[in-house]
Chains A and B, each alone.
Chain A
Amino acid sequence: MIRSDAPVLLEIRGLKASVEDQPILHGVDLTIRAGEIHAVMGRNGSGKSTLSKVLAGHPAYTVTDGAVLYRGEDLLGLEPEQRARIGLFLGFQYPVEIPGVSNLEFLRVATNARRAELGHDELDTFAFEDLVRERLAVVQMDPAFLERSVNEGFSGGEKKRNEILQMALLEPLVAILDETDSGLDIDALRIVAGGVNQLASPDNATLLITHYQRLLDLITPDHVHVMAAGRILRSGGPELALELERTGYEWVDQELAVAGVS
């Protein structure tokens, strides 16, 4: 849903970033308003995950230029945990397995960290179990996964559902979902997409990173951006994704060649 008067939640300006002294992002500009769903598409290696990690504050990535404002305030100076608490969420392309740490306890601690920031009471184990059972429905997840260690031994699809469960509990204002569709069969894809649609509201925004149209058949984006070689090469509406589906990424290479990038 596009409303030009909706407040800007995330504003990325001229963002450049590198990892191990290797420049990856070469100036990314992107503005996301409340109520919007954006899709960032692009080939493997174009810098999509790097963008998401930089936004979430991964210490391995260094911002070399540009700015990111979250609700008008500097985001890049904040620790990753603080970014999460004020409502930024990253759904990982590869969720991390943490043996020995109970999923339920992890979800509770994370939820309480967010709640404390919002001025809500801490939930004890009993109150939290009620909440988590309710939110499990969003992704139709088996409660048995709460008793296991975080993501340990989960299938690809189960890990992605666990990511959306976290999103459902943390109620972020800006959710960045990095290839949440990859590794999902069609049923799981429907469930996950349904969860994302259910959580989208006029007050929050979603940034979907994907390289398939099939996710966008289920979640209609307001804006589509094509990323290549660490930049956003072109932006448009949902039709841009359909065009990509038809024509592939060949034209991207041509445009990059014209621009003298690769």
Chain B
Amino acid sequence: MVASPLARSAQTSPTAAAWQSLVGAPLPSRRQEEWRFSDPAGFSQLEPRLWSGPEPWVDLVLPAGVKRLDAGAAQPQIAAVLEQAHCHEHWPVRLNAAAQGALLPLRVSAEASELVLDLDAADCGEVLAVQVLLLLEPGAQLDLTLRLRATGRSLSSVVIAASLQAGSRLNLAAVAAGHLDASVLAHLAVVQDPTSSLQLTTAAAGWGFSRLEPRIVQRGGGAATRLRALQWVHDDQLADTHSLVRFEGPDGSLDQVHKSVADGNGRSVFNGAVQVPRAAQRTDAAQLSRSLLLSDRARIDTKPELEIVADDVKCAHGATVSQLQSEELFYLRSRGIAEDQAARLLLAGYCDEVLAELPAAAAGWRPLLEQLHREASS
């Protein structure tokens, strides 16, 4: 097969070559199934210059029961977690390993602890890559809120590798408020031991390109995973969530709701893989994807990808794409509420199911996310 001249030139442009030499692997391409809908042009036109600003989180004050590990010792542990999550070869993971950006390795033994991590790429024109390692000891509990912000040309690339031992609980929230010229890659890998529990809540708006990759592996099954996500696109934005939940033992549960709102020329992609191999008997998994299409130029691609081999399982999934309901709009208008305000109320109500689950530390971001949306749609 002869590659088209366009594809060849994209692969051989100086920028692409620089990315390849940084990461040690070619840029993702739309010819790969995993990247079929998300055109890496969204971030790959940026020169892969690494962050030259101050290292984030050096002065972070940690709560009792949360300890920062030695960076040298942490590297192999990150690698081990990512390998258990079967994603060490993933492009965003390789990028962050190669970039050797900020590393925050934490061991959590506390029964209740709370931490907020801010990351602001501003309009740096660079690649801000960070890695976070979370090792939750048996019975440990952590509420971690990651707040990502960008206001101009930049790429934020975040890899979280978390290992949850028996009886531990991680409540991980990521809110990401971006800019049309900004991109974000977030690879969130969590390996759960039996009886651990994970809640992952993500909300992203305003990015020219965003790609979220929650990747949960229940190593021995028997754990609880709850995922809530909201992504908003408008203008020419693209938001792509590729999630994967894999059960490697029996009696695990998943409760996943993914919501998206697509306006303007925006494009929203959701690909939700759920893997239930033979060993994962009595898995109870539910996945729901709900999308709201606000413009006839916007586009939504949503695809559940259930691979179920075990026979004694409950796996429910559903996907809906709808518009603002005209009967709901009329009901509000018939009470004196102007049409645009009624639409805003309905939209906020639609998003509330996810946003209401954000922890207090992220609640302040709610107006910001809503404002980003309003600015773009007005």
**Which residue in chain A gives the minimum CB-CB distance to B354?**
A100
CB distance from B265 to the nearest CB of A (A): 26
Chain B residues with CB under 8 A of A79: 333, 339
The answer to the question of B35 belonging to the interface, with a C-beta cut-off of 8 Å to chain A, is no
Q: Are A57 and B337 CB-contacts (below 8 A) given A100-B350, A100-B353? A: no
**Residues in A whose Cβ lies below 8 Å from that of B353:** 99-100
Count of residues in B whose CB is under 8 Å from the partner chain? 24
Asked if A98 contacts B333 (CB within 8 A), the reply is no
A96-B327, A98-B346 known; A106+B332 contact, CB < 8 A? yes
Give Cα A79–Cα B331 distance, bound, in whole angstroms.
Answer: 13
Given A59-B326, A106-B345, do A90 and B336 touch, yes or no (CB 8 Å)?
no
Interface string of B339-378 (1 = CB under 8 A from A): 1011001101111110000000000000000000000000
Decide yes or no: A100 and B339 within 8 Å by CB, A79-B333, A81-B333 being known contacts: no
Hey, which chain B residues are within 8 Å of A60, CB to CB?
A: 326
Set A58, A95, A114: member contacting B336, Cβ < 8 A: A114
Q: How far is the CB of B340 from chain A (nearest CB, A)?
A: 10
Question: Which of A56, A85, A96, A149 has most chain B Cβ within 10 Å?
Answer: A96
Q: How far is the CA of A103 from the CA of B335 in the complex (A)?
A: 13
B325, B334, B338, B351 interface centre (most CB from chain A within 10 Å): B334
Instruction: Check: B328 CB closer than 8 A to any chain A CB.
Output: yes
**A157: interface (CB < 8 Å):** no
Q: In the complex, what distance in Å separates the CA atom of A109 from the CA atom of B333?
A: 11
Q: Which residue of B lies closest to A112 (CB)?
A: B336
Query: How far is B352's CA from A100's CA once the two chains are assembled, in angstroms?
Result: 6
The CA of A234 and the CA of B346, in the complex, are separated in Å by 42
Q: Say whether B330 faces chain A, with CB atoms less than 8 Å apart.
A: yes
> Which residues of A are found within 8 Å of B351, using beta-carbon distances?
100
Chain A residues with CB under 8 Å of B338's CB are: 81, 113
Main SS class of interface, B: helix
Given contacts A56-B334, A98-B346, A109-B345, A81 and B328 within 8 Å (CB-CB):
no
* Distance A170 CA – B337 CA, assembled complex (angstroms): 12
With A79-B339, A99-B349, A100-B348 in contact, is A59–B330 under 8 Å at CB? yes
Q: When A and B form their complex, what is the total count of cross-chain residue pairs whose Cβ atoms lie within 8 Å?
A: 79
Cα A153 to Cα B334 in complex, Å, equals 21
B307-336 residues with Cβ-Cβ distance < 8 A to A are: 325-328, 330-336
**Smallest Cβ-Cβ distance to A60: which chain B residue:** B326
Which residues of A1-59 have CB atoms within 8 Å of chain B's CB atoms?
Answer: 56-59
Contacts of A99 in B (CB 8 A): 349-350, 353
Q: What distance in Å separates the Cβ of A109 from its nearest Cβ neighbour in chain B? A: 6
Considering only CB atoms, which chain B residue lies closest to A117 in the complex? B336
A166 within 8 A of B: yes
B330 touches A84 (CB 8 A): no
Q: Is the CB of A109 within 8 A of B337?
A: yes
**Measured between alpha carbons, how far is A57 from B327 in the docked complex, in Å?**
12
Complex CA gap A64/B325 in Å reads 25
Q: Given A59-B326, A80-B330, A92-B331, A170–B349 Cβ distance below 8 Å? A: no
What B residues does A131 contact at CB under 8 A?
none
In the assembled complex, A244 has its CB within 8 A of some CB on chain B: no
In the complex, which of the residues B326, B331, B335 has the most CB atoms of chain A within 10 Å of its own CB atom?
A: B335
Beta-carbon contacts of A124-149 to B below 8 Å, as 1s and 0s? 00000000000000000000000001
Say whether A123 faces chain B, with CB atoms less than 8 Å apart. no
Binary flags per residue of A93-124, CB closer than 8 Å to B gives 1, else 0? 00110111100011001100110010000000
Q: Is the CB of A85 within 8 A of B336?
A: yes
Which residues of B are found within 8 Å of A166, using beta-carbon distances? 335
Is the Cβ of B336 less than 8 Å from the Cβ of A113? yes
Q: Is the CB of A98 within 8 A of B331?
A: yes
| A100: contacting residue among B326, B327, B335, B349, CB under 8 A | B349
Q: Is the CB–CB distance between A98 and B349 below 8 Å?
A: yes
Q: Are A101 and B330 in contact (CB under 8 A)?
A: no
Give bound CA distance, A81 to B331, whole Å.
10
Measured CB to CB, the nearest residue on chain A to B349 is A100
Which of chain A's residues have a CB closer than 8 A to the CB of B337? 81, 106, 109-110, 113
Q: Could you tell me the distance in whole angstroms from the C-beta of A149 to the nearest C-beta in chain B?
A: 7
A residues near B332, Cβ cutoff 8 Å: 98, 106, 110
Least CB distance, B326 to chain A, in whole angstroms: 7
Inter-subunit contact A80/B346 (CB<8 Å): no
Q: B279-320: which residues lie under 8 A (CB-CB) from chain A?
A: none
Inside 8 A of B333's CB, which chain A residues have their CB?
A: 57, 79-81, 84
Q: Mask for B92-128, Cβ within 8 A of A = 1, else 0? A: 0000000000000000000000000000000000000
B352, chain A: closest CB distance, angstroms: 4
Assembly CA distance A58 to B332 (angstroms): 11
Report the nearest A residue to B352, measured CB to CB.
A100
Please state if A81 and B336 are interface contacts (CB–CB under 8 Å).
Answer: yes
**Other A-B pairs, 7, CB within 8 Å; known A60-B326, A81-B338:** A79-B339, A81-B333, A81-B339, A101-B348, A106-B332, A106-B337, A109-B337
21 contacts between A and B (CB under 8 A): A58-B330, A59-B326, A60-B326, A81-B335, A81-B337, A81-B338, A84-B334, A90-B334, A96-B325, A98-B332, A99-B349, A99-B350, A100-B351, A101-B345, A109-B341, A109-B345, A113-B336, A113-B338, A117-B336, A150-B331, A170-B336
Q: List the 10 shortest-distance A-B pairs measured between CB atoms, nearest first.
A: A100-B349, A113-B336, A110-B335, A100-B352, A101-B349, A84-B336, A96-B331, A80-B333, A85-B336, A81-B333
